[in-house]
Amino acid sequence: MKYVLFNELSNNKAAKAAIEEYTKSLTEPFQAVNVIGLDYSSFLPTLKAEDVLVLVGGDGTIQHFINDVDCDALENEVWYYAAGTGNDFMNDVAGKETKLIQINKYIKNLPTVEINGETKKFINGIGFGIDGWCCEEGDRQRAKSDKKVNYTSIAIMGLLFKFKRVTATVTVDGETRVFKHAWLAPAMKGRFYGGGMMVAPNQDRLSEDRTLTTVIYCGKSKLGSLIAFPDIFKGQLQKHTKKCTTLVGHEIEVSFERPCALQIDGETVLGVTSYKARG
């Protein structure tokens, strides 16, 4: 049996259309299962070894799955049908035009992040700074309207007017550095986040050493920071060597001088002053 697991809130609540698009080509029996409120501890033991799981949704759908399920012990095939807003995971592993892939190898041995005493796994990255603020603002807009959220325009608004830069203390594998006028300081498992921003172009999510990448982007001038920022979509932010510092390690800890929003694979956490990510 093929179980199609979907998130009815994914992609601005457009999951129903995605389910129809995927299942119309299926010839074998399948059962659609809404993951919201699903108790995996009761559901998974009912599966047979040959049963297949297909996640239909976005990066947030995968993020919830990897935290609700012991993926290292899961023996069933798991596939992913990209139907989210940003689809950064699919963009990283197969290209944004791809719709369906098997993901078992990608959901094992995942990194963790500790925030306010709670530990979670993540599939793409942790955004802390203006990237977290963009998710916070996107959530506000989504609560008011069903229109597609434009994160590029939100980022521009944040760079020019809304987001106040911070002093960031960044510790990578025990070595600490302080960065003033910081806009962002993520911890990346993959290359992409934020709906197509290639913030860590050299990061390999399947590397055997399981390292993570942080990219600290700083700038005292708002206009200068805005002019350079679009290069993040081309994976070229690092060429701005006076503004951008890239560090790689197994453990990344970041603290800000004031609380800011943080995002985990696009899921927003408010009022965070620090996080610790381990590869």
**Rounded Cα–Cα distance for residues 25 and 194 (Å):** 31
pLDDT tens string 204-253: 999 999 999 999 999 999 999 999 999 999 999 999 999 999 999 999 99
Question: Hey, what's the torsion of the CAs at 111, 113, 119, 124, to 10 degrees?
Answer: -60
How are the residues of the chain apportioned to helix, strand and coil, as percentages rounded to the nearest 5? 30, 35, 35
**Rounded Cα–Cα distance for residues 201 and 217 (Å):** 14
Angle at 153 between CA 149 and CA 159, to 5 degrees: 130
| Domain locations in the chain as residue ranges | 2-108, 113-278
Q: Are 96 and 42 in contact (CB under 8 A)?
A: no
Task: Count Cβ atoms below 10 Å from residue 76 Cβ, excluding itself.
Answer: 14
Q: Are 185 and 223 in contact (CB under 8 A)?
A: no
Q: Are 252 and 276 in contact (CB under 8 A)?
A: yes
Q: What is the CATH number of domain 113-278?
A: 2.60.200.40
Q: How far is CA 114 from CA 165, 263, 273, in A?
A: 23, 12, 12
> What string of pLDDT tens digits covers the 279 residues of the chain?
999 998 776 665 566 777 788 888 888 889 999 888 899 999 999 999 999 999 998 899 999 999 999 999 999 999 999 988 889 999 999 998 999 999 999 999 999 999 999 999 999 999 999 999 999 999 999 888 878 788 888 988 999 999 999 999 999 999 999 999 999 999 999 999 988 999 999 999 999 999 999 999 999 999 999 999 999 999 999 999 999 999 999 999 999 999 999 999 999 999 999 999 999
Query: Judging by DSSP bridges, how do beta strands 251-264 and 267-278 pair with one another?
Result: antiparallel
**Rounded Cα–Cα distance for residues 224 and 233 (Å):** 17
Domain topology for 2-108 = Rossmann fold (3.40.50)
Token pair of 97, please?
């035009």
pLDDT tens string 170-192: 999 999 999 999 999 999 999 99
Q: Are 15 and 57 in contact (CB under 8 A)?
A: yes
**Rounded Cα–Cα distance for residues 186 and 174 (Å):** 17
**Rounded Cα–Cα distance for residues 9 and 6 (Å):** 9
Host H or E run for residue 252: strand 251-264
Which residue, among 98, 128, 66, has the nearest Cα to 277 in the 3D structure?
128
